[in-house]
């Protein structure tokens, strides 16, 4: 953050990726993701409030509100305390800063669950998890003062910055690798009244690992293939799809480039399956295809190409010079088309590690991404201990894809427990409502 003169509020620019989110966001496209933790005890709101305030003292980059500049939005220090309230609405809904004391994240609770909804302009899933974990640690320390204390936690000096790691790492000469074809769009009637269906499939991790090993695939590769197969069987065939199924997989760039930023630093790879053309119509063919695509796309060279082509847009002098109100119109218009290039997004944030003493208070973590009118289903997953929670957030008024996904895995002997928000029908006899 830039420290201006005394008494002036500190501010910082949005990172290159974040610049686009406030321009394209609205009530239909919230670009909000959610992280939740299920504890083994009911949440005490006052302690949660204190935990969030304490955490914000450590992670000041989250204690911000968004302001409008002439050419870009920017983030400014927020002097108010955030609002913590009971969960009432559907997850990942648009965060209206006016009713949220300007904050770009919202912490809610429900029974034994703590949620944080984060507007993507603030940070990505990886740094969001770091922030959320700190809230959980602090909350547990406040609610179990005798058993836990921050001194017991081997506190690493929290080293982070808010640099724009995109600018630092992009390659000006890299060529774009963007695929030119529009994607198959999931078909079907939408749920009425703006509702969102949430279905969590809590998968036994060990069994899933064993199954994926049979195909010599990573968990992400295996689940991507299962997802593709479910889409193919339950939507693509029924609606006689012609366009390729495109699955967008966000990638944490911190694995590829040195960075300690708490701002966004992610890119994505897109798995483009030309089902008809390349005759990818069985699960075995799909998993082989997905593995090859991952191997090809997940190289530093390819990732740099994708990242750099996005950065170039944000650094283009002509784009920079367009006034914000005009940028907003142009971005919204262009996004009508851009959104048609993805069938579904699947984001796996991987293992969420917690320190030993704290684990016993936690059941599992959840991650959710907001579905959109074009990308009607979005998928996400995270792992805690021996549970991988695969989540479908959907605005489609049927759960055929979710059910196929569930059936596929359970038929292979993998145990799955289902949790949902009850908007759509149960997909298993064990579903808790």
Partner 1 sequence: MIYPQKLSSKKGSKLINILLISSILLAFILIIINRLTTPSIPWAALTNCGIIYVWITVLYSIKKRINIAGHVLLQTIIISAVLLYIDKELGFKGWSIHIAIPIVLMIANLTMLILTIVSYKKYIKYAIYQLMIVLISMIPMVFIMEKMIQPTILNIVAIAISIINLIISLVLSYRDVKDAVIRKFHM
Contact residues: partner 1, CB under 8 A = 27, 36, 38, 86-91, 93-94, 110-111, 113, 191-195, 197-198, 200, 397, 419-425, 432-433
Is the CB of 130 or the CB of 428 nearer to partner 1? 428
Total residue length of the chain: 433
Say how many CA atoms lie within 13 Å of 302 toward its Cβ: 14
Of 14 and 186, CB closest to partner 1: 186
CA distance 125 to 350: 10
90 or 215: whose CB is closer to partner 1? Answer: 90
Residue 35 or 148: the one with the smaller Cβ distance to partner 1 is: 35
Beta strands 387-394 and 362-369: pairing type?
A: unpaired
Indicate the DSSP class of residue 266. E
Q: Identify which of 31, 47, 207 has the alpha carbon closest to the alpha carbon of residue 143.
A: 47
Look at phi and psi of residue 284 and say left if phi exceeds 0, alpha if psi is from -120 to 50, else beta.
Answer: alpha
- Extract the tokens encoding 190: 């939408």
Nearest CA to 127 out of 25, 79, 59 is that of: 59
From residue 229, give the alpha-carbon distance in Å to each of 177, 273, 275, 380, 408.
25, 11, 10, 17, 9
Residue 255: CB atoms within 10 Å: 12
Contact between 129 and 354 under an 8 Å Cβ cutoff? The reply is no
- Least spacing, CB of residue 217 vs partner 1, in Å: 30
Q: Which is nearer to partner 1, 306 or 393 (CB)?
A: 393
**In this complex, which beta carbon is closest to partner 1, that of residue 319 or of residue 423?**
423
**Residue 416 Cβ vs partner 1, minimum distance, rounded to whole Å:** 16
Nearer to partner 1, 83 or 195 (CB): 195
- Cβ-based neighbour number of residue 360 at 10 Å: 11
Residue 88 beta carbon to partner 1: minimum distance, rounded to whole angstroms: 6
Quick check: 82 and 53 in contact, CB under 8 A?
A: yes
Q: Which is nearer to partner 1, 10 or 431 (CB)?
A: 431
- Residue 341 CB partners (closer than 8 Å, separation 6+): 179, 181, 182, 183, 246, 270
Run of H or E including 12: strand 11-13
Q: How far is the CB of 388 from partner 1 (least distance, A)?
A: 17
| Cβ closest to partner 1, residue 322 vs residue 423 | 423
Distance CA(300)–CA(246), nearest Å, equals: 21
* 421 within 8 A of 197, measured Cβ to Cβ: yes
CB of 232 to partner 1, least distance (A): 24
- Of 197 and 201, the one with the shorter C-beta distance to partner 1 is 197
Minimum distance from residue 432 beta carbon to partner 1 (Å): 6
Q: How far is the CB of 360 from partner 1 (least distance, A)?
A: 19
C-alpha of 129 from chain center: 10
CB of 37 to partner 1, least distance (A): 11
Nearest approach in angstroms of CB 142 to partner 1 is 22
């Amino acid at each position: 953050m830039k420290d201006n003169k005394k008494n002036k509020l500190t501010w910082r620019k949005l990172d290159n990726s974040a610049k686009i989110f406030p321009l394209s966001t609205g009530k239909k496209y919230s670009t909000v993701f959610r992280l939740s933790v299920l504890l083994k005890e009911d949440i005490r709101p006052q302690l949660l409030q204190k935990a969030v305030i304490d955490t914000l003292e450590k992670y000041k980059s989250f204690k911000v509100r968004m302001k409008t500049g002439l050419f870009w939005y920017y983030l400014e220090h927020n002097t108010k305390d955030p609002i913590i309230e009971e969960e009432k609405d559907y997850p990942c809904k648009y965060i209206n800063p006016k009713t949220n004391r300007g904050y770009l994240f919202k912490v809610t609770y429900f029974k034994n669950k703590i949620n944080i909804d984060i507007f993507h302009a603030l940070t990505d899933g990886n740094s969001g998890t770091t922030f959320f974990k700190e809230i959980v640690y602090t909350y547990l320390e406040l609610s179990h003062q005798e058993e836990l204390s921050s001194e017991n936690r081997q506190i690493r000096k929290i080293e982070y910055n808010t640099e724009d790691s995109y600018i630092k790492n992009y390659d000006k000469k890299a060529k774009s690798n963007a695929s030119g074809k529009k994607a198959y769009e999931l078909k079907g009637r939408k749920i009425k009244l703006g509702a969102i269906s949430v279905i969590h499939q809590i998968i036994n991790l060990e069994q899933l690992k064993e199954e994926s090993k049979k195909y010599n695939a990573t968990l992400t590769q295996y689940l991507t293939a299962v997802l593709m197969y479910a889409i193919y069987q339950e939507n693509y065939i029924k609606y006689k799809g012609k366009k390729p199924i495109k699955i967008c997989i966000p990638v944490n760039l911190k694995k590829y480039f040195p960075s300690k930023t708490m701002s966004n630093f992610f890119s994505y790879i897109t798995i483009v399956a030309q089902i008809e053309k390349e005759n990818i119509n069985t699960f075995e063919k799909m998993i082989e295809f997905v593995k090859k695509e991952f191997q090809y796309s997940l190289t530093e060279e390819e990732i740099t190409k994708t990242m750099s082509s996005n950065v170039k847009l944000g650094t283009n002098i002509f784009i920079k010079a367009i006034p914000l109100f005009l940028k907003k119109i142009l971005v919204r218009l262009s996004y009508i088309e851009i959104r048609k290039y993805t069938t579904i997004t699947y984001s796996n944030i991987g293992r969420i590690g917690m320190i030993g003493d704290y684990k016993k208070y936690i059941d599992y973590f959840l991650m959710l991404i907001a579905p959109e009118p074009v990308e009607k289903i979005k998928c996400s997953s995270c792992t805690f201990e021996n549970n991988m929670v695969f989540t479908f957030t959907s605005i489609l008024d049927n759960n055929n894809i979710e059910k196929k996904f569930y059936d596929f895995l359970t038929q292979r002997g993998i145990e799955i427990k289902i949790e949902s928000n009850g908007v759509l029908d149960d997909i298993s006899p064990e579903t808790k409502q």
